[in-house]
Amino acid sequence: MTPVATPFFFYFLAALTLLSAILVITQKNAVHSALALILGLLAQAGLYLMLYAPFVAGVQIILYAGGIMVLFLFVIMLVNLERSQKEEQFNRQWLVGSLAATALGGLLVAVFIKGKALFPTSSTQIAEASNTQQVGELLYGQYMFPFEIASLLLLVAIIGAVVMAKKRI
């Protein structure tokens, strides 16, 4: 892509991500929050593509937007929502909580700006064409043990979710 397009796409996708995050935490209707989160996840997949990580972008779309959000939508449909829409949406300590979180954010940004000298300025250009091959080699080579543990974790999560949601064990 020409150099003009990269900042445009970055600002567009970043604005979309942040806007959808704001919509997630402020919407009264949980279904609208879920829709905003889906939009944010897809915009984030675009950001991953810009960071030369096509495999992670694909995994994000399949798992996060296509799997986890379907789960969320199912559960939102199962729990009764009309009553919760008429209740208070924000709890009593919303101001203190927001201020504390913003202070944390300010701390993070201050750390980034002060420590800017520590980052290498030139990025090692990762070849995008063989990204999947390299991820596969690393995943099944060096990170084989965490891979197996992750599959065990998913098995435990499946059994746990089934036991939790059953009416009678």
Partner 1 sequence: MLDYVTSYLSSNTTPGQAGNVVWALIYILIVFAGVSIAVMAMNWLERKALAHFQIRLGPMRVGPHGLLQPIADAIKLLTKEDIIPENADRLVFWIAPLIILCASFAVYVVIPFGPTHAITDLNIGILFMLGVSSLSVLGVVMAGWASNSHYPLIGSLRSSAQMISYEVAMGMAVVSAILMTSLNRSGTGTLSMIGIVEAQQQQQIWYLFKFFPLGFIAFAIFAIAMVAETNRAPFDLPEAESELTAGFHTEYSGLRWSLFMLGEYAAMIAVSSIAVTLWLGGWLRPFPNALTGATWDLAFSLLPGFTFLVLAVVAWVGVIRMPKHSYFRMQTLGLAGFAVLLGLIGLVLFAPPVRDRIQDIFWFTAKVAFFMYMYIWYRATFPRYRFDQLMRVGWKVLLPVSLGVLIGTAVVGMVL
Partner 2 sequence: MVPITTLHYLVVAAALFVLGVIGVLTRRNVVIVLMSIELILNAVNLNLVAFSRLWGLHGQIFAIFVITDAAAEAAVGLGILIAFFRNKETVNIDEVDLLKW
Q: Which residues contact 21 (CB under 8 A, 6 or more apart)?
A: 36, 40
Task: Kindly tell me which of 84 and 133 has the beta carbon lying closer to partner 1.
Answer: 133
x/- contact string, 22-41, with partner 1 (CB under 8 A)? Answer: -------x-xx--x--x---
Binding segment toward partner 1, per CB under 8 A, in 16-24, 68-76, 106-114, 158-166: 68-76
Residue 126 in contact with partner 2, rule: CB under 8 A: yes
Distance of alpha carbon 156 from alpha carbon 77, whole angstroms? 25
Write the single-letter amino acid at 107: L
Q: Which does 61 bind (CB under 5 to 8 A by kind): partner 1, partner 2, none?
A: partner 1
Among positions 77, 107, 108, 109, the unique one binding partner 1 when judged by CB under 8 A: 77
Distance of alpha carbon 23 from alpha carbon 34, whole angstroms? 9
What are the φ/ψ torsions at residue 114 (nearest 5 degrees)?
A: -70, -35
Window 5-44: residues binding partner 2 (CB under 8 A): 6-7, 10, 14, 17-18, 21-22, 24-25, 27, 30, 33-34, 37, 40-41, 44
How many C-beta neighbours within 10 Å does residue 27 have? Answer: 16
Residue 65 in contact with partner 1, rule: CB under 8 A: yes
Residue 82 in contact with partner 2, rule: CB under 8 A: no
Q: Which does 132 bind (CB under 5 to 8 A by kind): partner 1, partner 2, none?
A: partner 1
The candidate with the shortest Cα–Cα distance to 158, out of 92, 36, 71, 55, is: 71
Task: Kindly tell me which of 72 and 129 has the beta carbon lying closer to partner 2.
Answer: 72
CA angle 161-163-168, nearest 5°?
140
